Amino acid sequence: MKKTIAFILLITAVKVASFSECFCSNRSHMKIELNDNWHFRQVGWEEWLPAQVPGTIHTDLLLNGRIGDPFYRTNERDQQWIDKVDWEYRTIFDLEKEMLQQENIQLIFDGLDTYVDVYLNGSKIHIADNMFRQWRVDCKSLLKRAGNELKLYFHSPVKVDLPKLAALGYQLPAVNDQSENGGLGDKKISVFARKAGYHYGWDWGPRFVTSGIWRPIHLLGWNKAQIDNIQIVQKGVTSELAEISAVFEIESTSDQEMLLSIQLKDHPQIFVQRLVKLNQGMNRLSLDFRIDHPKLWWCNGLGEPHLYYLEAQLRRGHSVLDAQVVRFGVRTLKLIQQPDQWGKSFYFELNGVPVFAKGANYIPNDNFLPRVTRERYEQVVKAAAQANMNMLRVWGGGIYENDIFYDLCDQYGIMVWQDFMFACAMYPGDEEFLESVKAEAIDNVKRLRNHPCLALWCGNNEIDVAWSHDTPGGWGWKERFSEPLRRKLWNDYETIFHRLLPQVVAEYDPKTFYWPSSPLADWNQRASYESTSGDVHYWGVWHGREPFENFKIRIGRFMSEYGFQSFPEFKTIQSYAQPADWDLSSEVMMAHQRSGIGNQRIKEYMDLYYRNPKDFQSLLYVSQVLQAEAIKSAIEAHRSKAPFCMGSLYWQLNDCWPVASWSSIDYFGRWKALHYFARKAYQEILVVPTTENGKLQVKVVSDRLQPLQANLRMEIIRFDGEKLWETSQPMIVQYNSAQICFEANLDELLKGMDRRRIVLRAHVHTEDRLIAENLLYFLPPKELELPKASISIDVSETSDGYRIDLSTDALAKSIYLSIDEIDGLFSDNYFDLLPKQKATVFFYCGQKTADFGRKLKIMTLCDSY
Ligand code: BMA
């Protein structure tokens, strides 16, 4: 980068007429999308078939009727040949004279998956080898008016990477790589490709090693100079004043002077303009501005996620050479790690306020990424916000998500814990690999750093604990290597995660904290379930077969993973399975359960807590209730431990195909029981009744910044509606602490009562409103004597769906509402209803159906056995 001498001509408060007026006027930049008119073929085929760009080979084969739906039944197995052959894509395009007259023309590939040779009009202009990078290629000299041919040659990732394994001479651990399903035996090659790890399979995902133009392509033409990048650097933020620098990277074709200006939308007084002297090449310079009494960006639940829009213009005389709009939020967001009475804290502090992080781990929404629409992104992020979440962890076995994902997180106030894309494997340490990783990290850090949602950069998922260098344990990886190799592999690990990545973050996004691996007790200290610092992945329940009760005991400072599986609902299963497959042990159901222990674990835990479901559909339903109850108890336990514990992110929010998994929303966006339960458990104010050591204890937890005068009421109710005990007491609900509000000896309290037929209802009220409510049973569901309730419903139509009013003559446990014919979202589901109470549920749907009331199905737990 050349040194730039920038001098100030004027920094003035000139009023600009209107924001939209000044944007793009006379702009001499030209952008041409190159996403149409594509064809593809397998290398060697005569025929070219129409292709979609962005797209993947698998989806193009599907659209052309050459393969069946990859997600249907066991089709995945027959489609493993696709990643073992080479493919070509090509398009022909014409250009206007104006484009060709531009001084500079670049071809910009936002994402190529993965090993691709790029040819323009017969000349090889680029070799791509990293799915996560953006590629920019100068191409002016090769372009012509008519009949330009852009051709991409996709090398089989399997053919490219098998020789790397042979050259290395030993297998790097990659536990989730389903090489055997891909016909590669034990040859796990996923670690060599800078490509989404889950493409090679995971314990919730199939193996589809895609190739393709997975993000858009465009041509960019520009004259004299262009703004390459704008970084918003917040030098100081208080509620009175935000001092901000807009740091520019501007590419110039010669030494020249230009006018650079910035204008804040809707704030006409914030306008800064400067005459800058650009040197030929890349120039770095900045314009400073201040916002008085800025509106801060807050996460979901704590306030409005306010966003500002900054327009930057580069002008010469009257012509605008380049103009860009950057969206940002004003806020401070820090990870606080300070020694305290328990060890060392681990919490996020937003605008000076410690925030309990409530959320989930997020994976890609499809195996075939380009078919994830804006609507689908919005559906998922909105569902997180609707469930009162304020954080998602973009997990390291997927992708650095598309811009739209972070835009939505900015808008919905969802903070993002961003992993770099490394998970559950050891990676090579050769020069070429490291260079690729560095370039990928720079690309993505620069792309994402202006998003106010960005809370943390994390090096990888679970590699530190899995390898467990210099400490016993781990996942048995290191034991397979000789001492010198162990040292080498650990050194390679440290090169990437302790040196290269933190250096990139320090240089390109110094305000955002870097954490080398999740979980980790401290920078150089391995995580364990007992850690009193750092973050914890607690898998004692599920992988470790511990009972659900242990969710209450195994609590760290920040629970970044824990989870429990369930099956998707019947409608989702019908999308991939035929009636003959409706059995857990069928080939098809097994193909859609990728955790080797999955079905067995669900069954084991179900036997502990629930009666044996009578049929397939009941089993699906009970699996969801089981999962929901498990994770609800974990979230409640984590929140009850605030401020010792300051985060709870369950594994996992979403799915990439229809499958049995830990998700709370399935592939089709359908909410499982868990999503409804998470929404309640993540509510601003939570009341948690529990029993421990013969005692009933009721805690109240609050995320409300101001204290609240309230009333805690408790009742013990028999399933037939008879109230056996009640009490109430005033209380002050405090921010960010879990208060024990009530304690009683259980035997004394329940004397003479039949525990199989009673439930405790705890609820918190302000003068006029019910603000929290929870139920506690004194025995596991299988020991309860649930009555056959008779549920009355009253259905009426609303503008966007239906209203369902429910009442019951006896306890109705885990009421599940469903309708086969249409898709929609119930405002609540899988809930318990007590006699003498009423529930109102709304069903939101795009399309209505005649006779909704008759078609609505209602099931409760006692119908399942
Ligand atoms: C966690 C994740 C994933 C995995 C999940 C369930 O550790 O990081 O690797 O899918 O466990 O096993």
Per-residue pLDDT of 372-397, as tens digits, reads 999 999 999 999 999 999 999 999 99
Q: How far is the CA of 563 from the centre of ligand 1 (A)?
A: 9
pLDDT confidence of residue 737: 79
- Please list the residues that pair with 461 across neighbouring strands: 423, 518
Q: Atom 6 (ligand 1): residue with closest C-alpha?
A: 203
Rounded distance between C-alpha atoms, residue 849 and residue 663, angstroms:
29
Instruction: Answer yes or no: pTM beyond 0.85.
Output: yes
- What's the angle, vertex CA 525, arms to CA 524 and CA 527, rounded to 5? 140
pLDDT in tens, 159-215: 999 999 999 999 999 999 999 999 999 999 999 999 999 999 999 999 999 999 999
Chain centre distance of CA 709 = 36
Residue with tokens 């993000």: 215
pLDDT confidence of residue 738: 86
Pocket mutation for ligand 1, best pick of 536, 651, 652 (most atoms within 8 Å of C-beta): 651
511 three-class SS: coil
Q: How far is the CA of 474 from the centre of ligand 1 (A)?
A: 15
Average pLDDT of the chain is 95
Q: Which residues line ligand 1 (CB under 6 A)?
A: 202-204, 423-424, 461-462, 537, 561, 651, 662
pLDDT confidence of residue 14: 30
Q: How far is the CA of 425 from the centre of ligand 1 (A)?
A: 12
Q: Which residue, 151, 123, 154, 153, is CA-closest to 139?
A: 123
Residue with tokens 């996460």: 299
pLDDT in tens, 791-823: 999 999 999 999 999 999 999 999 999 999 999
Pocket mutation for ligand 1, best pick of 177, 200, 203, 463 (most atoms within 8 Å of C-beta): 203
391-394 and 415-419 beta bridge pairing: parallel
Can you spell out the DSSP letters for 463-486?
Answer: HHHHH-TTSS-SSS-GGGS-HHHH
pLDDT confidence of residue 124: 98
What does residue 351 show for φ and ψ, rounded to 5 degrees?
Answer: 50, 40
In sequence order, the 6+-apart residues with CB closer than 8 A to the CB of 203 are 176, 594, 595, 596, 598
Rounded distance between C-alpha atoms, residue 29 and residue 653, angstroms:
41
Q: How far is the CA of 535 from the centre of ligand 1 (A)?
A: 15
Q: How far apart are the first and last CA of the chain?
A: 71
Atom of ligand 1 nearest to the CA of 396: 8
Residue type, 357: A
**Is residue 519 reached through a cis peptide bond, with omega within 30 degrees of 0 on the bond before it?**
yes
The mean per-residue pLDDT over the stretch 432-439 comes to 98
pLDDT confidence of residue 11: 30
Atom of ligand 1 nearest to the CA of 202: 10
647-650 and 357-362 beta bridge pairing: parallel
- Please list the residues that pair with 256 across neighbouring strands: 278
**Pick the residue with more confidence: 735 or 621?**
621
Q: How far is the CA of 149 from the centre of ligand 1 (A)?
A: 44
Q: Atom 3 (ligand 1): residue with closest C-alpha?
A: 203
Share of the chain above pLDDT 70, in %: 97
pLDDT in tens, 65-94: 999 999 999 999 999 999 999 999 999 999
Atom of ligand 1 nearest to the CA of 203: 10
Atom of ligand 1 nearest to the CA of 176: 9
627 three-class SS: helix
Q: Atom 8 (ligand 1): residue with closest C-alpha?
A: 461
Share of the chain above pLDDT 90, in %: 94
Lowest mean pLDDT among 361-365, 525-529, 662-666, 674-678: 525-529
Q: How far is the CA of 195 from the centre of ligand 1 (A)?
A: 18
Secondary structure in 3-state letters for 617-666: HHHHHHHHHHHHHHHHHHHHHHHHCCCCCCEEEECCCCCCCCCCECCCEC
The mean per-residue pLDDT over the stretch 398-416 comes to 98
Which helix H or strand E contains 367, and what residues bound it?
Answer: none
Q: Are 251 and 282 in contact (CB under 8 A)?
A: yes
pLDDT confidence of residue 492: 98
**Pick the residue with more confidence: 794 or 5?**
794
pLDDT confidence of residue 13: 29
Can you spell out the DSSP letters for 374-402?
Answer: HHHHHHHHHHHHHTT--EEEE-TTS----
Atom of ligand 1 nearest to the CA of 204: 10
Pocket mutation for ligand 1, best pick of 393, 561, 562, 656 (most atoms within 8 Å of C-beta): 561
Residue type, 37: N
In sequence order, the 6+-apart residues with CB closer than 8 A to the CB of 522 are 337, 344, 533, 534
Give the confidence band of 318 by pLDDT, cuts at 50, 70, 90.
Answer: confident
Q: Atom 10 (ligand 1): residue with closest C-alpha?
A: 203
148-154 and 200-202 beta bridge pairing: unpaired
H and E: helices and strands count for the chain: 18, 46
pLDDT in tens, 584-608: 999 999 999 999 999 999 999 999 9
Give the confidence band of 220 by pLDDT, cuts at 50, 70, 90.
Answer: very high
pLDDT confidence of residue 27: 53
pLDDT confidence of residue 24: 35
Q: How far is the CA of 587 from the centre of ligand 1 (A)?
A: 23
Rounded distance between C-alpha atoms, residue 632 and residue 726, angstroms:
25
Atom of ligand 1 nearest to the CA of 595: 12
pLDDT confidence of residue 28: 64
